[in-house]
Amino acid sequence: MNRPRLGFIGTGTVGTALATGLSRAGYPVVALANRSPESRDALATSLREARPVATLQQLADMAELVFLTVPDDAIASVVAAVSWSADHAVVHCSGVASSDLLEPASVRGAAVGVFHPLQSFANAAQAERNMPGSTFGIEATSSELLATLEDMAKSLGGKPLVLSGDKAIYHASAVIASNYLVTLLDVAAGLWEQLGLTKADGLAALLPLVRGTVDNLEAVGLPTALTGPIARGDIGTVERHLAVVAKVAPQLLPVYKELARRTVPIAHAKGGLSEHAADQLLEVLDRMDKGGSQCA
């Protein structure tokens, strides 16, 4: 496959990780633009063929395929600031927006698309390490661009996934799985302060548990990976949890109860929780909602 000359508008974490990874995979990265010349120039120094440019139009004139690796709210204004042609292809990396956001380029004949790494990018170096094995959500308005984006995903060690339907569903799922996992661990580790320890102590102790759970999910999937008191039908343990959370962290009680409710059908599907025990668990949770006793 003929690999197009690439340009990146935006050299933050995502832009740096993708430009570096694709350059190493044999894609020529020829031009870089960014509001901050420092990050642009630093990336250009590390990529042999890349040239830092002062204007977006300069970049578009040099590249065949342009990545808009800018914040979601900036995509529309950036794409509108360039004179595109049928010789261009333009993609953004938003997880929630479709290729429709690139209409100013498509109406001028450019092929447009989306290339979204379904991965958590805390920094550029970590992003590069995380990309292999990741899914890449892609869209394209031409078969040629689609084939190029699929090849790019595979070149980065990832798995291309052609997206259809409302991308907000796809992105909300990703946010729940990734961003809200961080929130959940903040909540869980915070409880350790009630033991006279620090949140950092709690996080350090919980992370191996989280890794083991993720390994189980990968090895045996849902619902088999579920363990714990609800999976076993251990109603007394759940009642003790409700009682102590209500006492020491009542603001977290709604979180615990909602997660418990959503765990009951998973446990039932796994087979370790009888229908009778499932009903009992839901009754215990309902009693808490009505201000009743936590304990049987």
- pLDDT band for position 25 (50/70/90)? very high
Q: Which domain holds residue 188?
A: 176-289
**Is the per-residue pLDDT at 38 higher than 80?**
yes
How would you write 232-270 as a 3-class SS string?
Answer: HCCHHHHHHHHHHHHHHCHHHHHHHHHHHHHHHHHHHHH
Question: Are 155 and 11 found together in one domain?
Answer: yes
Q: In the chain, where does DSSP find H-type helix?
A: 13-24, 37-46, 56-62, 72-80, 103-106, 124-130, 143-155, 167-177, 179-190, 199-220, 229-232, 235-248, 253-270, 275-289
Question: Are 10 and 128 found together in one domain?
Answer: yes
Question: Are 90 and 219 found together in one domain?
Answer: no
CB 18 within 8 A of CB 117: yes
Question: Are 205 and 155 found together in one domain?
Answer: no
CB 239 within 8 A of CB 284: yes
**Is the per-residue pLDDT at 100 higher than 60?**
yes
Residue 72 lies in a domain: yes
**Is the per-residue pLDDT at 129 higher than 90?**
no
Angstrom distance (rounded) from CA 292 to CA 285:
10
- pLDDT band for position 295 (50/70/90)? very low
Residue 296 lies in a domain: no
- pLDDT band for position 165 (50/70/90)? confident
CATH number at residue 114: 3.40.50.720
Residue 203 lies in a domain: yes
Count structural domains, the chain: 2
**What is the pLDDT, as a whole number, of residue 127?**
83
Question: Are 181 and 130 found together in one domain?
Answer: no
Burial tier of 295 (Cβ tally within 10 Å: 0-12, 13-18, 19+): exposed
Question: Are 62 and 159 found together in one domain?
Answer: yes
- pLDDT band for position 62 (50/70/90)? very high
Question: Are 155 and 205 found together in one domain?
Answer: no
Residue 202 lies in a domain: yes
**What is the pLDDT, as a whole number, of residue 290?**
64
Residue-wise pLDDT tens digits, 190-214: 999 999 999 999 999 999 999 999 9
Question: Are 125 and 190 found together in one domain?
Answer: no
Which of 99, 130, 165 finishes a domain? 165
Question: Are 119 and 194 found together in one domain?
Answer: no
Residue 243 lies in a domain: yes
Question: Are 126 and 262 found together in one domain?
Answer: no
How is the beta sheet containing 111-118 ordered, strand by strand?
51-52, 29-33, 6-9, 65-68, 89-92, 111-118, 135-140, 159-162
Residue 148 lies in a domain: yes
Using only C-alpha atoms, the chain has a radius of gyration, in whole angstroms, of 24
Angstrom distance (rounded) from CA 290 to CA 11:
53
Question: Are 192 and 285 found together in one domain?
Answer: yes
Identify which of 259, 229, 234, 257 has the alpha carbon closest to the alpha carbon of residue 245: 257
Of 38-42, 139-143, 206-210, 292-296, which range is least confident?
292-296
Question: Are 200 and 267 found together in one domain?
Answer: yes
This prediction's pTM:
0.86
- pLDDT band for position 296 (50/70/90)? very low
Residue 207 lies in a domain: yes
Angstrom distance (rounded) from CA 213 to CA 227:
9
Mean pLDDT for the chain overall: 93
